[in-house]
Amino acid sequence: MTFNNKPNDELVSENLNAAIFKAFKKDCTGFRLEPGNLMKALGLIQSEESFSLEEFFTWPIDLLADYIEKKHHSYIEQRVPVLLDMLNKLCRLHGDDHTELLDIYRGFCKVASELNSHLLKEELILFPYIRKMVQLANEGSSLDDPRFRSVKYHVLQMMREHELDVDDFKQIRNLTSDYCPPKDACKTYKVAFALLNEFEKELHLHIFLESAILFPKAIAFESNINRI
């Protein structure tokens, strides 16, 4: 696998110092980030994020949770209704000639439903608990909330949902021939495929920030605060 004509090891060497790369490899392996998805996330960080990869690794977990919610959750909430509307129109206008559109629409409906549930769990359960852990640590207090179980328990659930979303989008990408519209595609057709491509890339970045950085750090933080 290469990125910008550079092999993985050269790319990582340019972006991470030795200490970060060591933690990075361990976390990615532990949380099953696929190399292809990882490279998509790194590419977006390089081209679109306001912060470097090194900075994300240094952020406290409550700040990172806030960032993911405000930036990446907001993106999903804004983009989903737009794509659902566009794909629905394409099915009505072009579904007879391009029968795969219905499968694309159904696939994205499934992703949208899963993500809606996923974001709610993070915003109402996991992220508030992460913020609470940081607050308690700053106060020198111990963590005692039997209703929550543990960060790891909820993280594993989030990770399983991540894998489902990635698998669903693989099917969408295959159905769209890697988001290449047919020769007779109208403007809406082309825009919809471009937005699906953008959405998948954004999803990989969202998953990377959680799976490789936030989740492992939150699990370690909980373990440390429980020792206080």
pLDDT digit string, tens, across residues 54-105: 788 889 999 999 999 999 999 999 999 999 999 999 999 999 999 999 999 9
Residue 82 belongs to some domain of the structure: yes
Residue 2 belongs to some domain of the structure: no
- Report phi then psi at 2, rounded to 5: -130, 160
pLDDT category of residue 120 using cuts at 50, 70 and 90: very high
Residue 28 belongs to some domain of the structure: no
Provide the token pair at 162.
């991540």
**Whole-angstrom distance, CA of residue 228 vs CA of residue 217:** 17
User: Would the pTM of this model clear 0.85, i.e. be above it?
Assistant: no
Inter-residue contact 158 to 123 (CB < 8 Å)? no
Residue 27 belongs to some domain of the structure: no
pLDDT digit string, tens, across residues 21-56: 433 444 433 444 455 555 555 555 555 556 666 788
Tell me what pLDDT residue 4 has: 45
Percent of the residues in the chain that have a pLDDT greater than 90, as a whole number: 49
Residue 74 belongs to some domain of the structure: yes
Total structural domains within the chain: 1
Residue 188 belongs to some domain of the structure: yes
Inter-residue contact 188 to 89 (CB < 8 Å)? yes
Q: Which domain holds residue 155?
A: 60-225
Tell me what pLDDT residue 121 has: 94
Tell me what pLDDT residue 211 has: 87
Burial call 170-201: b when 16+ CB within 10 Å, e when fewer: eebbebbeebebeeebeebbeebbebbbebbb
pLDDT higher than threshold 80 for residue 226 = no
Residue 87 belongs to some domain of the structure: yes
Residue 52 belongs to some domain of the structure: no
**Whole-angstrom distance, CA of residue 135 vs CA of residue 158:** 23
